């Protein structure tokens, strides 16, 4: 029997590697990578344990809207060709299970609508805080982008919905089942199992960071000028306190060079980790860091499950009180940890 993993981030791949060695080790395993977060294929492949999979494929299913609008005929043709090849590949594998981490992308929606009539089991795996998001309002930009992609893929059934609310899944795997109002079968990922996922990276983490704090902001879009001011506030705070702060950005972050240059102004205490082949979770579980600084990044939540006695610090209060920025996110898992006193506010 065959199983397919659909992945487009390093986190997805690491979880798929673990599932391949545990819950799906008796199956023939296939993994299909794609470009929905615009992370290059070679960067994704560096996280694969290739011996775990019978076959590895990559499909470019997410072009920038600016490219499509400049050369519509060229990119629409590429889009549809890759989409057709993607569907043919899934049909050829004929899986019993489809393991996926996001139900938003239109190509996935089209696939899931087809498979629901073929008695395939669709398994949604939690990828971070987004599954626990109680309410989210799509921006005008997101709505416009979705409408254009819907036209490109010629699909009238695609829906714009909050992550994890597509109702395609037959099974859901997650850390906090009681926080999700979903009637399908739920499989809990225990803290012990979760730590196993990030215990395989053999790189020397200590050359990047040994102790101190890890700064790992979410890939969140709000006023970039204010965001840069917040970063400057935080870096200056750790510099003045003579405390080590290492920066690990989200893999989809586009303003890497700016943050790197800003960090250089606060050396030697503020350091930039410029290595894509390790994740924030690798650093948390394999170093002696004692605190995580973030806004609502899933890394802040993941750290709670990965390591005992680690400080979790959020600068949401700084965004709101000093810069009048409300992210308008309501994550039940974040709220639970905050109300339990596990997450504290950043005080500068």
Structure confidence by residue, pLDDT tens digits, 324-334: 887 766 778 88
Segment 251-267 mean pLDDT: 90
Query: Are 128 and 218 found together in one domain?
Result: no
- Looking at the fold, whether 188 and 78 belong to one and the same domain comes out as yes
Residues 116 and 211 in one domain: no
Averaged pLDDT for residues 258-280: 91
Look at residue 64 and tell me whether its pLDDT is greater than 80.
Answer: no
How much of the chain, in percent, has pLDDT values that exceed 70? 95
- Answer yes or no: do 32 and 149 share one domain: yes
Position 61 confidence tier, pLDDT thresholds 50, 70, 90:
confident
- Residue 292 pLDDT: 96
pTM of the model: 0.90
Better-scored residue on pLDDT, 285 or 262: 262
Based on the fold, state whether residues 38 and 97 are members of the same structural domain: yes
Last residue of a domain, one of 162, 197, 232: 197
Q: Which pLDDT belongs to residue 227?
A: 86
Structural domain of residue 174, as residue ranges? 2-197
Q: Lowest mean pLDDT: which of 2-6, 17-21, 296-300, 339-343?
A: 296-300
Tell whether 84 and 215 lie within a shared domain.
Answer: no
pLDDT score for 172: 95
Chain-wide mean pLDDT for the chain? 89
Nearest to 312 by CA among 334, 335, 288, 293: 293
Q: What percent of the chain has pLDDT over 90?
A: 53
Query: For 250-272, what is the mean pLDDT?
Result: 90
21 and 160 within one domain:
yes
Report the CATH number that the domain containing residue 290 is assigned in CATH.
3.40.50.2000
Burial of 329-343, coded b for 16+ CB within 10 Å and e otherwise, reads: bebbbbebbbeeebb
Domain count, the chain: 2
pLDDT score recorded for residue 17: 97
pLDDT tens sequence across 183-239:
899 999 999 999 999 887 666 666 666 678 999 998 665 678 888 899 999 999 999
**Statement: residue 70 has pLDDT above 90:** no
Q: Are residues 134 and 231 in the same domain?
A: no
Strand ranges, E, within the chain: 2-7, 28-34, 55-59, 97-100, 121-125, 171-174, 185-188, 211-215, 245-247, 270-272, 288-294, 311-314, 343-345
Q: Are residues 170 and 257 in the same domain?
A: no
**What CATH number corresponds to the domain at position 85?**
3.40.50
Mean pLDDT of 237-249: 95
The pLDDT, as a whole number, for residue 221 is: 58
Asked if 63 and 181 sit in the same domain, the reply is: yes
Average pLDDT over residues 140-145: 83
Instruction: Quote the CA–CA distance of 167 and 75 in Å, as a whole number.
Output: 30
What is the Cα–Cα distance from 276 to 281, expressed in whole angstroms?
12
Residues 26 and 149 in one domain: yes
Residue 17 or residue 225, greater confidence: 17
Q: In the structure, what pLDDT confidence band is assigned to residue 103 with cuts at 50, 70 and 90?
A: very high
Predicted pLDDT at 73: 83
Which residues are within 8 A (CB) of 108 and not within 5 positions of it... i.e. 6 or more apart? 6, 100, 102
- Shared domain for 321 and 274, answered yes or no, is yes
Give the pLDDT confidence score for residue 112 in this predicted structure. 94
Instruction: Out of 173, 197, 221, pick the residue that ends a domain.
Output: 197
Whole-Å CA distances, 98 to 2, 20, 50? 9, 13, 19
Query: By the 8 A CB rule, do 307 and 229 touch?
Result: no
Domain boundary among 147, 179, 197: 197
């Amino acid at each position: 029997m065959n199983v397919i993993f659909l992945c487009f981030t390093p986190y997805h791949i690491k979880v798929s590697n673990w599932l391949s060695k545990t819950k799906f080790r008796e199956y023939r395993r296939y993994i299909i990578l794609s470009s929905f977060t615009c992370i290059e294929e070679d960067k994704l492949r560096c996280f694969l344990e290739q011996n775990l999979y019978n076959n590895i494929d990559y499909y470019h299913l997410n072009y920038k809207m600016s490219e499509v609008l400049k050369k519509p005929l060229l990119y629409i043709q590429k889009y549809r060709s890759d989409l057709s090849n993607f569907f043919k590949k899934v049909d050829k594998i004929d899986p019993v299970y489809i393991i996926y981490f996001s139900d938003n992308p239109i190509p996935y929606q089209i696939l899931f609508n087809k498979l629901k009539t073929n008695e395939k089991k669709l398994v949604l795996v939690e990828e971070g805080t987004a599954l626990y998001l109680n309410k989210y309002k799509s921006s005008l930009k997101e709505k416009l982008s979705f409408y254009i992609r819907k036209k490109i893929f010629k699909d009238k059934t695609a829906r714009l919905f909050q992550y994890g609310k597509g109702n395609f899944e037959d099974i859901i795997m997650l850390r906090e089942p009681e926080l999700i109002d979903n009637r399908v079968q739920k499989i809990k990922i225990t803290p012990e199992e979760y730590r196993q996922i990030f215990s395989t990276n053999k790189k020397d983490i200590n050359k990047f960071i040994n102790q101190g704090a890890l700064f790992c902001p979410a890939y969140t879009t709000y006023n970039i000028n204010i965001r840069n001011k917040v970063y400057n506030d935080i870096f200056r705070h750790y510099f003045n306190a003579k405390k080590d702060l290492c920066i690990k950005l989200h893999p989809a972050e586009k303003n890497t060079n700016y943050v790197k240059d800003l960090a250089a102004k606060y050396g030697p205490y503020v350091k930039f980790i410029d290595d894509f082949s390790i994740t924030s979770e690798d650093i948390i579980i394999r170093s002696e860091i004692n605190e995580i600084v973030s806004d609502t990044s899933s890394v802040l939540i993941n750290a709670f499950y990965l390591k005992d006695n680690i400080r979790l610090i959020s600068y949401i209060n700084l965004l709101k009180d000093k810069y009048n920025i409300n992210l308008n996110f309501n994550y039940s898992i974040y709220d639970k940890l905050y109300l339990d006193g596990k997450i504290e506010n950043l005080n500068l």
